[in-house]
Amino acid sequence: MDLRSAQALQSLRLGHQSIADSIDSLRPFLRSYLHAKPHLREFHQRLLTFFSRQDDIFFGALYQSFQDDRNATKIIDFLAHDLKDLKIQFLIFFEKHSGEVLDQNAATFPKDFSDFCALLIARIKIEEERLFPLLEKMESR
């Protein structure tokens, strides 16, 4: 792996930890929408930062590195598509719970948060199981 892929792997690991920390910091406030709002802003920013690490350049470099490995390219295609779906869910969640609208969505916040976090946790597990080995394999090339 060149220096950039080593940095990408470390950056993703830190991103996973940052997301997990944000989720943990929000859980005590699930029933208190007013108190959750400041934590939601931080959560939003951490997710934007995390998503920015997996851009078209990132996936293009992965794809190019594994272009002769059909299994790897299928995984990369899946990861890129799944990330787009997760970004859509991110937009939907934060449109409802941005803190800018009056508390009209407060009643659905606990369920919406739990559902969105389940998607995030599933994504993190997939990345750790599928993406990290690809990045490590790039390191050995």
- pLDDT 10s digits, 54-91: 999 999 999 999 999 999 999 999 999 999 999 999 99
Q: Please report how the helices 132-140 and 3-26 are oriented relative to each other, as an axis angle in degrees rounded to 10.
A: 160
What is the pTM (predicted TM-score) of this model? 0.89
Question: For 111, phi and psi rounded to 5 degrees?
Answer: -70, -45
Tell me which H or E stretch contains 118.
helix 109-126
Closest CA to 49 of 41, 59, 60: 41
Q: What is the DSSP letter of 90?
A: H
Task: Give me the domain span that covers residue 124.
Answer: 3-140
For residue range 37-52, list pLDDT tens digits in order: 889 999 999 999 999 9
Q: In which band, very low, low, confident or very high, does the pLDDT at 99 lie, cut at 50, 70 and 90?
A: low
Q: Rounded to whole angstroms, how far apart are CA atoms 124 and 127?
A: 5
**Length of the chain counted residue by residue:** 141
- In percent, how much of the chain has pLDDT > 90? 75
Q: Rounded to whole angstroms, how far apart are CA atoms 137 and 126?
A: 16
Count: domains in the chain: 1
Q: In which band, very low, low, confident or very high, does the pLDDT at 1 lie, cut at 50, 70 and 90?
A: very low
What 3-state DSSP class applies to 65?
helix
Residue 3 has pLDDT above 80, yes or no: no
